[in-house]
Structure 1
Amino acid sequence: MKSEVIYSDDLHFEHRHWQGELAFWQDELKSFKNRLEELSNRWTDENVLAQLEHFQNQFIRHGEVIDTLEHEINVHETDLANHSKKDEEVMDRELTKGHFEFRQRMEMQRKIYAELKEEFFRFLSKYM
């Protein structure tokens, strides 16, 4: 059975990519919250206001998820740095397993976020 070697530089690169993606989402959320504020000043209809509140809650929740993901990346980066200090270029099984599980979580979060954006843009096209 052939086993693949995983290097810390590869994992570090992926972390940097994820951090950039999370930062982009945070910026988008700020923009979306501003749009919500504009709409809340424009509409008095209870149904529209309820939908605005729904999106506000979703954006807050997604912001919390981003914070959690960023924290977990930082923890993993610390683990990578500790391996590097010991001149360990190859990752142990647990660190690698954790990285692959985190990758799956990022993929799932991308889908969730994309669906939220799609729903929000449909809402905006209806009420802007």
Structure 2
Amino acid sequence: MESPTQTSDLQEQINTWKTEVNTVREDLQMMRERLAQLAFSKTNATIMAQVEHFQNRFIRQAEVADEMYHDLKQSSKKISANGQLHVIHDDRPVDDYDTLQERMETFQKLFEELKTDFNHFIPACQ
């Protein structure tokens, strides 16, 4: 995908990504609620180990979503301030559009894998 060159295009892409991150947050909340229902209804040790596994994955995915949203928000502020995208945030570099795009693609891929794994787990519990 070509990187947007106009500041308005960058802002629009970042806003789209922020919306996607918020959608992931909402999906994670629904998945957590479903997992809690499964945990209350099952006492099988194998199932409970999987429940804990998914709890941990949900927690980590939520942390990554928070980090991603924060970095997108900071990038948006930086673009608004000087019309360029040059931000570095600790160990999560956000120094150009390509880096942001790569991080978003990885974020989306990992969430889709988590969702697929969880959707395969649910029938095994019932």
In the superposition, the TM-score normalised over structure 2's length comes to 0.86
CA offset digits 1:13-32 (Å, max 9, x no partner): 00111011011111111100
Which of the two has higher C-alpha Rg? 1
Q: Which runs of 5+ in 2 are unaligned?
A: 88-93
Q: Does the C-alpha gap of structure 1 residues 75 and 43 become closer, same or farther in structure 2, counting only changes over 3 Å?
A: same
> 8 Å contact 2:4–2:10 — kept in the other structure?
no
1:91-110 pair list within 5 angstroms: 91=84, 94=86, 98-110=96-108
> What is the CA deviation profile of residues 41-81 of structure 1, one whole-angstrom value per residue up to 9, with x for unaligned ones?
11111110000000010000000000000110111111111
Aligned pair 1:119/2:117, yes or no? yes
Stretches of 4+ aligned residues off by more than 3 angstroms = 94-97
Counterpart residue number, 1:83? 82
Q: Point out where structure 1 has 5 or more consecutive residues left out of the alignment.
A: 85-90
Write out per-residue CA displacement over residues 83-104 of structure 1, whole angstroms, 9 at most, x where no aligned residue.
25xxxxxx47x46952211101
Q: Which residue of 2 aligns with 1:47?
A: 46
The structure with the largest helix share of the pair is 1
The answer to which structure, 1 or 2, has the higher relative contact order (CA under 8 A, 6+ apart) is 1
2:91 aligned partner = none
Question: What is the aligned-residue RMSD (CA, Å)?
Answer: 1.9
Amino acid aligned to 1:98? D
